Structure 1
Amino acid sequence: MNESGAAASVGGTGRATLGDPADLAIETHQLVKRFGHRSAVDGINLAVPRGSVFGFLGPNGSGKTTTIRVLLGLASASSGNVRVLGRDMPQALASVLPDVGALVEGPGFYPFLSGTGNLMRLDAADPHAPSSTRRVRVQDALERVGLSHAAGKKVRAYSLGMKQRLGLANAMLRPRKLLVLDEPTNGLDPQGTREVRTLVRSLAAGGTTVFVSSHLLAEVEQMCSHVGVMSAGRLVAQGPLEELRSAGQAHVVVQTPDVDAAARVLTRLGLVPGDAAGTGLTGGNTAVMATGINGHFPEAIVAALVADGVGIRGFTVENASLEERFVSLTGEGFDVVG
């Protein structure tokens, strides 16, 4: 990663592109957004492939929501270039936004209207929405987010999770080329979270690019194909999820009754022995974990263990989790909502 935050793939430098710029749904070049003397977004080069589910991660105050607001024309950039769906922003705002659905900073609705009434009114305010199909599209959107049973209920009686679902339905009232979702699973129970995850995947399978800002790393790992990580206004990494994981330290896990002997061999190989369960290297715990593979082939590690008489009940090499990579890149935990 370089200090400008330019990273078209994990560790990449220069302008953020992934092949032909026409293959990108979102592209920024040295995007800066200042508030007074403070740079909330500091020269980021973002590259979001078309058809991807792109997870946008970062600690509180890292610049995620500010970036989204600039992308959608809700805030102006201090400097740099922005392209959305292949067109320059904000010059092409009027032609781009009809193809973009968004749920940003929580949904806002008329509390005295029903779910159906809110969506009907919002759709009527969209000059690009055909009135002839309005009722059918509203019913379809409510069904897709699991709100058909509450369609006639006033929104003031909705829970936070139901309002979040209604916000998703509003974003999908018309076919979109790009969906921008800020914390889409906020307030949802586990079943609702799974449903949103399935919905996002189905949208991407149909060709819609989905840009998801979230602090729930486990959800991002299950939902997203690509990830970008923000820290202090800079984009410190981005690229395919698997590349981001594999760029971190791998773990070697050895299942063995010979814990002390295994630890000695791993140390000799330049690996750092530890314990997979966090309880120390004891004979009562047969899972020995070593951080880093240190250039060794897995079979060479196994051969060294066997040569020293270590009994092996199991051997695996695990890539770093997204949480581990997030902490290593930002130096912070992951309870983030920025």
Structure 2
Amino acid sequence: MMEGEVTARPTAIEIRDLRVDYGDFVAVDDVSLKVPAGEVFGLVGPNGAGKTSTFRVLATLMEPTYGEVFLDGVDILEDREQARRIVGYMPDLAPVPTDLKVWEFLDFHAAAYGIGRRKARRERVAECLEEVRMSDQRNAWCHKLSRGQTQRVVLAKTLLHRPRVMILDEPASGLDPLARRDLRTALRNLAKTGATVFVSSHILSELAEMCTSLCVMNRGKLLAAGTAEEVRRLLGNAGRKVTLHFVSRVEHAMAWMEGKPGIGAMEREGERVTVDLEGDDFLQSELMAGLVNEGFRMLSFEERRSSFEEILVEVAESNRK
């Protein structure tokens, strides 16, 4: 899927035919994508997929080989300064100074963003620290923060100028489960204000929980975009496993299923039979209906599809082929 367009809402991020080359190496290969305003939109892919190169272009930190990028309608290649007022960028493992306290670090950036009056800066710093649950660390020295705390402080810095588009590269890196939950809440609250959050991770299940929509990249190409379930359907193996828990007559049920369309290997464990099924939802419903019509009694009929981790492993392993 070379282009993703999630909803009919106004477009906050539009990428057209983006390509990034490093010498003979193609990092981003003709990617086109539209992200509506108010989305928490995820970008997932294995290492080397092109995520960071894409984000660096969006953040106006590098020029693409060719292509066009618009943030809130602003052409970032034609008007970088205006684009930088719109965007907030958080790189993976961003450094913080060792000789400043947390509030001093944020106050410095607030001044750089043009929040001129000292009282206004102090209030905005306090708001951003509260947003990332770091108010109790405002007087801590930056060099004494844990990795997860550092990530949260850098996120607070990214929020200072109220960007309409946020580009977050692996923001959950180093966060514990509680902090990741707080991050999800903070990003969703930002989206409710109309801001657009474009966030990357190599953990697909993490993005599936965090984002309203997402896309998958590999080898510089955009493979799929949409909701988490749409991406699962587009990239997951067409095959699925169904486990049937019978009340009785297990052997007869297995004999009846054998040779039916889409039925693959069957494995029995007690009263349960796991079946490899090649087909769509209609074929699965036909199997269920057929068993019931034949009088086979079942306690359950459960489907197992590829997990997000399995999908990403399959995508990553294609790099080796």
2:245 corresponds to: 255
**1:296 maps to 2:282:** yes
1:7 corresponds to: 3
Q: TM-score, normalised by structure 2?
A: 0.88
1:269 corresponds to: 260
Q: Residue type of the partner of 1:296?
A: F
1:89 corresponds to: 76
1:312 corresponds to: 298
- 1:73 alignment partner, SS class: coil
- 1:46 alignment partner, SS class: strand
Give unpaired runs (5+ residues) of structure 1: 9-16, 334-338
Q: Counterparts of 1:26 and 1:225 in 2: how far apart (Å)? A: 15
1:66 corresponds to: 53
1:125 corresponds to: 112
* Residue 161 (structure 1) shift: 0.4
1:206 counterpart (177, 193, 199)? 193
Q: Residue type of the partner of 1:228?
A: C
2:14 corresponds to: 27
**Backbone CA RMSD of aligned residues:** 2.6
Contact in 1 for aligned 2:241/2:274 (Cα 8 Å): no
Q: Residue type of the partner of 1:243?
A: E
Identical positions, percent: 32
Q: Counterparts of 1:105 and 1:225 in 2: how far apart (Å)? A: 22
Give unpaired runs (5+ residues) of structure 2: none
**1:138 maps to 2:129:** no
Q: Counterparts of 1:244 and 1:262 in 2: how far apart (Å)? A: 34
2:219 counterpart (228, 232, 236)? 232
Q: Residue type of the partner of 2:308?
A: L
Alignment of 1:106-255 (within 5 A): 106-127=93-114, 131-247=118-234, 248=236, 249=238, 251-255=241-245
Instruction: Quickly say closer, same or farther: Cα 1:266–1:171, change in 2 above 3 A.
Output: farther
Q: Counterparts of 1:140 and 1:262 in 2: how far apart (Å)? A: 63
